[in-house]
Every structure is written in C-alpha cells, then in structure tokens.
Amino acid sequence: MKIRNIAIIAHVDHGKTALTDSLMRQTGAAEEGVSMDSNALEQERGITIYSKNASIFYKGTKINIVDTPGHVDFGSEVERVLRSIDSVILVVDAQEGPMPQTKFVLKKSLELGLKPIVVINKIDKPAARPEWAHEKVLELFMTLGANENQLNFSVVYAVAKEGVAKINLKDDSKDLSPLLETILKEVPEASSPELSQKPLRIQPFNLAYDNFMGRLAIGRIYEGVVKTGNVFIKNTGGATRTGKINKIFTFEGLKRKEVAEAAAGDIIMIAGLPDIFIGETICADPDQEALPAINIDEPTISLNFLVNNSPFAGREGKLVTSRQIRERLERELEVNVGLKIDFSAGGYFKVYGRGELHIAILLENMRREGYELQVSKPQVILKEENGIKLEPFEEVTIIVSANMMGTIIKKMSKRKGNITDVSQEQNNSRIIFEIPTRGLLGYRGEFIIDTKGEGIMYSRVIGFRPFVGEINRQALGSMVSMADGKALGYSLYNLQDRGVLYIGAGTEVYIGMVIGNAAKGNDMSVNPTKGKQLTNMRSKASDEALTLTPPLELTLERGLEIINDDEYLEVTPKSVRLRKQFLTEIDRTRAKRQKVL
C-alpha cells in the first residue's frame, strides 16, 4: 500500500479543520456534517484543542492527515506532530496573510527540512488578496532561511469551507482534486518494501485514552511490520523495558479500524502499553538504536487546585472530594502531555500548564463532568540557571488602528514590554513587543476594553530570560460582600459607580464573595443585600426605575485573569465565582499582619 503522511498547520482560524473536513467529504472518508473538531468544547468554541488523525484514500494512495490546533497554548502539540510526518500543508488566510503562528509553525517545519505545500485559503472573502498573501508567504520563507528546494513550494488557492481548490486563480474547479494531486506529486512516499523488511521501530507522537483499553499510543511505524505481541521500549534516557502490544488500529476517516498488522510508513494506534510515552521507541530487539527524542515544551504557569470550601460548597457539583479530584487529574495526565501535576503538597494539587487557555479547558471539561473545586491565581514559573533567576518571555503581536498606537505602547512599556518591530498596513499598525509573561498576565481584558474589541493580540512564549524585577501595575481592588443573602437591585445600583460588577440582582452571595472590582484600587467591603429604607416620604429619584448596567459575566478565562493573589476562583458545573481566601475582614487583616511579621 502506498502511504503519504501530512500535517495541516496554520495560524488560528485560517481554515485547517475546514480543509481536513472537506478532504474527508470529497474522498468519502466521512459524511456531510462530520467534523474533525469532534469534541463538545471544540464545537462550542469553534477552535481545535486536540490534534487529531484522519486518513483518506485517493487514487489508491492512503493519505494520513494530522489536523493541528492553531492556538498558541497548544503549540507544543504541533511541534510533536511535525516530527512524524513528511510534509505540511501551510494554510494562510488570503485576507490576513501570514500571522504570528504562521511564522512559528513554518519556522519549525523548515528547520525539520520539510517542504511545505502552501494553501492560500478563503479566497472567497470580499477583502481577500490572494496574490498579496502569496507574496507575503514567499517573503516569510526567505526571512526564515528556507533552502532552495523549500523556496520552490507549490501554491494552491482554496475555499476550504466549500471544498474547492485551484492552481491558478482563474481556473475553474469544483473540488479539491488540484490539492490532492499536488499532495501525490510533492509529498514523499512513506512506505517501501525495504523499510518494511527492517526490524520494527515505532515512535509515538500523541497519546489517547480509552476506558477499556487504557492508554493508547499514536505513532508512526518508521521501519518493519507491527503485530500484536511482545516488544521492547526504549526511553529517551537510554533505558529499555518490555511490553506487550495487544491491539493495533489504523485510521479510516476519523474512525479507527482494528488490524492484525501494519507496515512501515503508516500511522497507527496501539493498545497494551500502559506506561508508553511520547518520543519513546518501540522496537523488536533490545539492541536496536532508539529514534531521536521528541522535545516536550515545559509548562509556563502554575496554580493550585483545591477542594471547594466556600459556604456554597457542594451545592452544584457531584464530584467534590479531594480523592475524586485527584483521580480525575491523574486521568488527565494520561493524555495531556503539556500538563504536570505535583500531588505531594498536602491540602492542594499544584498544576503546571502551558497557558491560561490550557488550564481553562481542563477546568471547563471538569465542571461539565460534574466536578466542583476552587483554584488559586495562576503564577508564572521562574527558573534558576547558574545562580541567575529567569522568567518566561513572550513575543506579542498587536494589530490596532493607527490612532491607538500611543496608548498601547505606553501600557506595554509600563509592563516592561520592549518594541522590536513596527509596521503599517492599510489603516492599521502592527507592533511587536517582547515582554515578560508576568507583565502580560491580566492585560488581555484591558486591551479588549481599550480597543473596543477591535484590536488583535497574539502572543507566544519565546523562552526564559533574566528576571526583570518588580512590575508596577495598577491592580484593581475587589468589592467584597460583607453579608449573606440575595443581592438587591437597589444596593447594586448604588455600587455600580464604584467598580464593575460581576453579579446581577437576585444572585445569592456570601460573606467574603467578590462581587465586582473596585476602581479605586483597594479592596472594599460592601453590602449588596441592603434594601431601600422604608419611609413615608416619596423621593422622586429613588422612585424612578433603577437601571442597572449589565454585569460582567465571570467566565473561567476571565476569572483566571482578574483573580487577585489572596482569592480563589470557585468552579462548579453551574457557576464561576470569585471569593477571598479568608472570608471575613478580620481574618484577612490578621493574615496580612502575620505575613508582614
């Protein structure tokens, strides 16, 4: 069987999944309406979170496709995948052109020696500028030091959503055949009789989990033929252990199909190796050489997961105990490769992740399954090397209308951001900063407000650098309830001038719950349950209908962003609430004093 292995890579939203879906539809690998974004959260948010495998058949060749996530928090997934395929389809939006994540994934691909096929997508958009986008992509290849062979990349224009691709913009095309032909022409064949005759070597690049089969490894067979039975596993440190493969699957469309054996070149899933990990080598003989290791990016932020002990604990969740939360987190570690958890501290679990979205997705999945818990403020992970304190830095690309530039630069410099590049395009300015992750935490919300939701901001971690010292940023205080009960419209009306409220009238509150922010900067104890004094006097003002500004709804991501050091975010299947760690003002004052002493 002839096999080609490709990955689809791009900046977020440029159309990777739409293209994969259309390829499956055209080749009959999946029916109308079936999407690679199969997970409920993916469908709701319209983004890919987990990279996934599919395979299609075209003119007798099997094409294994890995669809990758475009969001930076999941960027390390992409890197792992790139190691295991032979070519990439780089999708670029015909209106936006190359964006920060385009640059990142292209750079990785070029470094690995891959020759990409470029798909200029969304040419149906009214503002599409496909020729300009093509030129920009070529410039990017050159900036990134592509070799001559790589610079000679093929270009295909597409409307992925509708399943149409063409080699020349003027061509008349009804389907994706021009792209499929390009794949057959450009992507090296993965299988050959010689490779199949060698002793077995498989390297997993992804993990999955099944309730019955346990941990599953998704990997590429580099050499040999795999059958069920005993194998040797070499880890990246050089140690060898034994294992037994008891099931082998290949992909057909999105589905997996159990097979008795599979040969070199194919991408497969195997069951039976409960401790298998990314980058290890599964082989037939203990003397075989291990394949080069696959790097896994280190986490950049950490936070604590705790049993919920708020006055409302257990009201909305079914799975609330420390043991239940621990078991769930242990299960997550089976597949969530970027995640690390320290279970050793008493009273909480320390969770290390790749970014706020990475953590938010885990919490969202947990609350949907009925879990209830609370978490602390995410902290940036600091490292020490040769006695020097290091902290993670990010490259931030901001695109705003030209008149916003001043404000943005002022705010970013305050947070220790340095400009590395500024350019103008159409009516927008594109500014690139390098900034410590610490400085960036909590800025996103402010950016959205400053640019009225029209600014674009992308960031990605670029590595650890020397710690830049204290960052003075104007933190917002919290409005803390000093009463239990139902919030009343009358008191919220009086409070809404002093900060942004997170709750509306009728919300149940408890002592120590954070109900809004305090614009002045310091925490403020308030009583949101106070009703109007009853008097015989009629006052005109108070009798007019009280118009409340709609509250700022606390989502998980927003909560993780605005939470202060001395607070917890309470997460239940129905609610996301902020609270003080110490509920009463007396306890908070005492805690603060003890810290100082």
Ligand X SMILES: Nc1nc2c(ncn2[C@@H]2O[C@H](COP(=O)(O)OP(=O)(O)OP(=O)(O)O)[C@@H](O)[C@H]2O)c(=O)[nH]1
Stretch that binds ligand X, among 159-167, 278-286, 449-457, 513-521 (CB under 6 A): 159-167
Residue 69 interacts with ligand X (CB under 6 A)? yes
Residue 103 interacts with ligand X (CB under 6 A)? no
CA dist 135 → 132, 138, 145, 150 (Å): 5, 5, 16, 15
- To ligand X, the closest distance from the beta carbon of 42 in angstroms equals 8
Residue 100 interacts with ligand X (CB under 6 A)? no
Of 16 and 122, nearer to Mg ion (C-beta) is 16
13 interface partner picked from ligand X, Mg ion, none, CB below 5 to 8 A per type: ligand X
Residue 16 interacts with Mg ion (CB under 5 A)? yes
219 interface partner picked from ligand X, Mg ion, none, CB below 5 to 8 A per type: none
- To Mg ion, the closest distance from the beta carbon of 48 in angstroms equals 3
∠ CA 209-215-221, nearest 5°, is 105
Residue 13 interacts with ligand X (CB under 6 A)? yes
43-53 burial code (b ≥16 CB/10 A, e <16):
eeeebbbbbbb
Q: What CA–CA distance (Å, rounded) separates 344 from 349?
A: 7
14 interface partner picked from ligand X, Mg ion, none, CB below 5 to 8 A per type: ligand X
Question: How many residues bind Mg ion, per CB under 5 A?
Answer: 3
Three-state SS string across 26-88, please? HCCCCCCCCCCCCCHHHHHHCCCCCCEEEEEEECCEEEEEEECCCCHHHHHHHHHHHCCCCEE
503's tokens:
């709750």
Distance of CA 461 to the CA centre of its chain: 13
Question: How many residues bind ligand X, per CB under 6 A?
Answer: 21
- To Mg ion, the closest distance from the beta carbon of 105 in angstroms equals 13
- To ligand X, the closest distance from the beta carbon of 10 in angstroms equals 5
Helices 16-26 and 177-186, packing angle to 10 deg: 100
Residue 76 interacts with ligand X (CB under 6 A)? no
Residue 90: HSE in the Cβ half-sphere, 13 Å Cα cutoff? 30
Of 165 and 488, nearer to Mg ion (C-beta) is 165
Whether 265 contacts 189, CB under 8 Å: yes
Stretch that binds ligand X, among 41-49, 51-59, 383-391, 496-504 (CB under 6 A): 41-49
* 7, 56, 62, 70: which one binds ligand X (CB under 6 A): 70
Stretch that binds ligand X, among 12-20, 137-145, 376-384, 543-551 (CB under 6 A): 12-20
Which amino acid belongs to residue 233?
Answer: I
| Spatial CA neighbour of 413 closest among 476, 475, 473 | 473
Site string for ligand X, 112-141 (x = CB under 6 A): ---------xx-xx----------------
Of 45 and 198, nearer to Mg ion (C-beta) is 45
Sequence-separated (6 or more) residues with CB below 8 Å from residue 151: 138, 141, 142
Stretch that binds ligand X, among 6-14, 172-180, 343-351, 424-432 (CB under 6 A): 6-14
Q: What CA–CA distance (Å, rounded) separates 152 from 168?
A: 16
Residue 159 interacts with ligand X (CB under 6 A)? yes
| Spatial CA neighbour of 378 closest among 193, 562, 199 | 562
* Residue indicated by tokens 């109007």: 532
Measured on CA atoms in the order 175, 180, 181, 183, is the torsion positive or negative? Answer: positive
Residue 215 interacts with ligand X (CB under 6 A)? no
Of 49 and 461, nearer to ligand X (C-beta) is 49
- Binding to ligand X in span 544-583, by CB under 6 A: none
Sequence-separated (6 or more) residues with CB below 8 Å from residue 30: 21, 24, 54, 253, 254
Residue 48 interacts with Mg ion (CB under 5 A)? yes
Residue 20 interacts with Mg ion (CB under 5 A)? no
Residue 17 interacts with Mg ion (CB under 5 A)? yes
129 interface partner picked from Mg ion, ligand X, none, CB below 5 to 8 A per type: none
Of 69 and 417, nearer to ligand X (C-beta) is 69
Residue 336 interacts with ligand X (CB under 6 A)? no
Residue 161 interacts with ligand X (CB under 6 A)? yes
| Spatial CA neighbour of 483 closest among 507, 458, 504, 452 | 507
Whether 34 contacts 24, CB under 8 Å: yes
376 interface partner picked from Mg ion, ligand X, none, CB below 5 to 8 A per type: none
Residue 12 interacts with ligand X (CB under 6 A)? yes
- To ligand X, the closest distance from the beta carbon of 51 in angstroms equals 9
* 5, 26, 27, 48: which one binds ligand X (CB under 6 A): 48
Sequence-separated (6 or more) residues with CB below 8 Å from residue 282: 200, 201, 202, 203, 204, 217, 219, 226, 231, 232, 233, 243, 245, 270, 273, 276
| Spatial CA neighbour of 22 closest among 58, 49, 69 | 58
Residue 160 interacts with ligand X (CB under 6 A)? yes
Residue 15 interacts with ligand X (CB under 6 A)? yes
Residue 10 interacts with ligand X (CB under 6 A)? yes
- To Mg ion, the closest distance from the beta carbon of 77 in angstroms equals 12
Q: What CA–CA distance (Å, rounded) separates 392 from 440?
A: 11
How much of the chain is in helix, strand and coil states, percent to nearest 5? 25, 35, 40
Q: Is 252 left (phi over 0), alpha (psi -120 to 50) or beta?
A: beta
- To Mg ion, the closest distance from the beta carbon of 482 in angstroms equals 47
- What is the binding site for ligand X (CB under 6 A)? 10, 12-18, 46-48, 69-71, 121-122, 124-125, 159-161
List residues binding Mg ion (CB under 5 A): 16-17, 48
